[in-house]
């Protein structure tokens, strides 16, 4: 498209999924910074910024989680249509919800990134104490404790964040993008 030509990269949705505390937001923000440094048009949609605004009317029931992901998917598609690399960072616990989004975009435009971290490490990293609150029953429907998480069976990218650093994870994503021609020449500058 003209936008992709102007931006010097293809548009894509990078859909990060994983447990709370797995590192989704940290990796998403680091990747956004790196891509912006490379003059790429990029934006992060994160659970925290969307839940406080667009989806502030939703709770955490299975139905509300489904609607949350549906809305986020629609917003991500708008950013993608605008020619952006859109990084979506949500727990998005249900396979069917992630697959619904994948099915609404062209092949190769949805890249599922499994931010995989064992639950003990997620709990150790938890600065808000959400896991402790979930285990005590103070928080209901908490993914990984009192609500299910369905890991992707065939994600395009699988990052083990209890074994790799944020920088290593960002490098792995950029390598994937370069190798799969989703982003042309990330390391090259745009010439006039």
Neighbours of 103 (CB within 10 A): 8
For the ranges 53-62, 102-111, 154-163, the one whose mean pLDDT is highest: 154-163
Is it the case that residue 132 has pLDDT exceeding 70? Answer: yes
Number of residues that make up the chain: 192
CA distances from 170 to 29, 32, 96 (A): 10, 9, 26
Domains detected in the chain: 2-179 (3.40.50.300)
Q: What is the pTM of this model?
A: 0.89
Average pLDDT over residues 119-140: 93
Reported confidence tier of residue 173, pLDDT bands at 50, 70, 90: very high
Q: Where are the alpha helices (DSSP H) in 38-185?
A: 47-51, 62-81, 95-103, 119-125, 130-136, 166-179
Q: Which of 11, 25, 92, 169 is catalytic?
A: 92
| CA separation for the pair 61, 32 (Å, rounded) | 30
Q: Is 92 a residue of the active site? A: yes
């Amino acid at each position: 498209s003209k936008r992709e030509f102007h931006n010097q990269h293809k548009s894509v949705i990078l859909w990060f999924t994983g447990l709370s505390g797995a590192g989704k937001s940290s990796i998403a923000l680091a990747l956004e910074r790196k891509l912006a440094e490379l003059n790429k048009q990029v934006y992060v949609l994160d659970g925290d910024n969307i839940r406080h605004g667009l989806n502030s009317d939703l709770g955490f029931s299975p139905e509300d989680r489904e609607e949350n992901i549906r809305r986020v998917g629609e917003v991500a598609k708008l950013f993608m249509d605008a020619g952006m690399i859109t990084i979506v960072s949500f727990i998005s616990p249900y396979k069917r919800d992630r697959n619904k989004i994948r099915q609404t975009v062209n092949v190769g435009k949805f890249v599922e990134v499994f931010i995989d971290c064992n639950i003990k490490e997620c709990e150790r990293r938890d600065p808000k104490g959400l896991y402790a609150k979930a285990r005590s029953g103070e928080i209901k429907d908490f993914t990984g404790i009192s609500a299910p998480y369905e890991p992707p069976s065939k994600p395009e990218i699988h990052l083990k964040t209890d074994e790799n650093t944020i920088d290593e994870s960002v490098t792995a994503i950029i390598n994937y993008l370069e190798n799969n021609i989703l982003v042309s020449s990330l390391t090259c500058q745009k010439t006039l």
